[in-house]
Amino acid sequence: MFLYVLKRILYSVPIILGVSILTFALVFMAPGDPISAIAPADAPEEVVQALKISYGLDRPVPVQYLLWLKKAVTGDLGVSIASGRPVLGEILTAFSHTLSIALIASFLGVGLGFFLGGVAGFYQNSWLDRIATFLSLIGISVPHYWLGLVLTIVFSVWLGWLPSMGAGPDSGAFYWDFEHIKFMLLPAITMAVIPTGIITRSVKSIVAEILAREFLVSLRARGLTDMTVLKHVIRNALPMVLAVVGLQIGYLMGGSILIETVFSWPGTGFLLNIAIFQRDFPLLQGIVLILCMFFVILNLVIDILQSILDPRIMRS
């Protein structure tokens, strides 16, 4: 087990290095000049050159990358061009807000997805299967930004039950009280719709495939109850379902630019949107790097959990 975990960690190192190279290169390939975001259009050339020197933009791109990577390893992602604040602090504040709604969205998406998918797969071709399949199809097909607008109109404008935007009285910090939780319900529900549909369809197909296996046919032939058969199905389905759930949780933790923009939720997606429009390259690089690192680490954890649930994965 230790050797397998060590091997997976070593495999992740070149992936992280490749992600850092792509993150740095893609930002510099984008149109626009970051200096134009802080210097006026009629700024003298000597002022522009001084700003380039202060931000290290006067050096060759490979040298800039190595210096950036050296600082990133120590947790220094630079200073935001637009705000002048440390990039890491900006990202951590935004990530805490995204994490708060992602936790509720993950609970809703994974819980409903498991339940609907399990029911649809276990009772195939029944009315329960048709209802679950119909709901999953709606979840996958409905644009989440449109759903966010509809929920805002219904629950904020018409009924006045929930606030339509913002993160609460103190947007700089999040507290688990009613005054803050009511601000996160609409974006969390909107964010959970697509993962619910995807997990439902995936769980249904996995459960249906497992139920068709010979050992489960023989268990049913021996007269075992549905609950006993269900336990065997869950045990065999978990390793495969974990891969799908991991990707969807990664999507939720990464946030959504459109959802967070619709609700003005100060998360990573909203911050990424601001960084793109302001051409804040240090902030943009930091956000993309942190989100990619999160996906890599999440996939590593999922691989380890899969190997624990199914030891055959380690032997392969």
- Chain segment 127-154, per-residue pLDDT in tens: 888 888 888 888 888 888 888 889 888 9
What average pLDDT does the chain have? Answer: 79
CA pair distance 305, 303, nearest whole angstrom: 6
Distance CA 169, CA 183 (A): 10
In whole angstroms, give the CA distance from residue 9 to residue 155. Answer: 46
For residue 48, being part of any structural domain is answered with no
**10 Å Cβ neighbour count for 104?**
18
Give Cα 208 to chain centroid, integer Å: 28
Which pTM was predicted? 0.79
Sign of the torsion formed by the C-alpha atoms of 295, 297, 300 and 302: negative
Of residues 215 and 80, more confidence is placed in: 80
**Residue 105 placed within a domain:** yes
pLDDT at 33: 62
Q: Is residue 56 part of a domain?
A: no
Band (pLDDT 50/70/90 cuts) for residue 31 is: low
Residue 231: the pLDDT is 74
Cβ neighbours of residue 265 closer than 8 Å, sequence gap 6 or more: 97, 98, 101, 165, 166, 167, 183, 184, 187, 259
Closest alpha carbon to 124 in 207, 53, 44 = 207
pLDDT digit string, tens, across residues 79-100: 887 777 888 888 888 888 888 8
Contact assessment for residue 78 and residue 282, using Cβ atoms and an 8 Å cutoff:
yes
Domain membership of residue 167 (yes or no) is yes
Q: How many domains does the chain have?
A: 1
Domain assignment of residue 155, yes or no: yes
Q: What is the pLDDT of residue 169?
A: 66
Tell me which of 238 and 28 has the higher pLDDT.
238
* Number of helical (H) and strand (E) elements in the chain, helices listed first: 13, 0
Q: How far is CA 11 from CA 3, 171, 296, 301, 312, in A?
A: 12, 39, 10, 13, 19
Of the candidate ranges 167-171, 256-260, 302-306, the one whose mean pLDDT is the lowest: 167-171
CA distance 237 to 306: 11
In a domain, 6, yes or no: no
CATH number at residue 131: 1.10.3720.10
The answer to the question of residue 242 being in a domain is yes
Domain enclosing residue 291, as ranges = 87-315
User: Rounded to a whole number, what is the largest CA-CA distance in the chain?
Assistant: 86
* Residue 274 placed within a domain: yes
- When mean pLDDT is compared across 87-96, 150-159, 291-300, 302-311, the lowest value belongs to 302-311
Give, in order, the Cα–Cα distances in Å from 201 to each of 115, 127, 231, 238: 11, 16, 20, 15
Q: What is the pLDDT of residues 263-273, one digit of tens each?
A: 888 888 888 88
- Dihedral sign of CA atoms 100, 104, 107, 109 in order: negative
